[in-house]
Every structure is written in C-alpha cells, then in structure tokens.
Amino acid sequence: MYITQRAAFVRNLGIAGINGAITLIILLIAPLGLAAVLTNTLLVTVASFINATVADRIIQFLQPSQIETLQATLDPKKSSSPVRRTDSNDLSR
C-alpha cells in the first residue's frame, strides 16, 4: 500500500468522522444528557483517529523489509545466476 501522508491524514479524518457520526446517532437515541452525548462522541472520534494513525505507522514501519524481500525475489539479476552460453566445440568428450 503506497499512500502519501496527506492522503492517510484525510482518510483517517474520514474514518474518525464517520465513527463519530454513528456514535452521535446512537447516543442521541439513548436517554442521556446532551453533555454526555457530546463528550462520548468527541472521545470516540478522537480515539478512532488515533487508532487509524497508529495502524498507518505500524504498516509504514513494516513495509520497507517487505519491499526489499519482494524486490529480491522478483529481480532476476539479483536472485539468479547469469545464463552462460556454451560452445559445442568446447565440450569435453
């Protein structure tokens, strides 16, 4: 997954906003005070953003070794020995 830092930030804001909206809808149905609803919604939104950001950092940390492994297996110059041509006159009989 190749994604820029800005795109990851926007995606994480979207995830947090959607989770916050769902939480707000659920909590407005419950018989709670407005302060409790707003506080819980804010906490869920912030926690969702932090969780998505930490997950991005973990993936980013793990990616370079994975890329090197894939490049080593896909690059024929690095993973195999060169093909040598033999002349039929050079065969020992």
pLDDT digits (tens, 9 = 90+) for 1-57: 577 888 888 898 999 999 999 999 988 888 888 888 899 999 999 999 999 999 888
Q: Is residue 93 part of a domain?
A: no
Structural domain including 24 reads 5-63
pTM for the whole structure: 0.58
Q: Domain for residue 38, yes or no? A: yes
If one counts the domains in the chain, the total is 1
Per the domain annotation, does 14 fall within a domain? yes
CA distance 65 to 93: 48
What is the rounded distance in angstroms from the CA atom of residue 39 to the CA atom of residue 7?
A: 28
79 or 29: which carries more pLDDT confidence?
29
Distance from the first to the final alpha carbon of the chain: 56
Q: Is residue 51 part of a domain?
A: yes
Residue 76 falls inside a structural domain: no
CA distance 78 to 92: 31
Q: Which of 1, 55, 57, 48 is nearest to 20 (CA)?
A: 48
Distances (CA, A) of 54 to 13, 16, 58, 88: 13, 13, 6, 62
* 56 belongs to a structural domain: yes
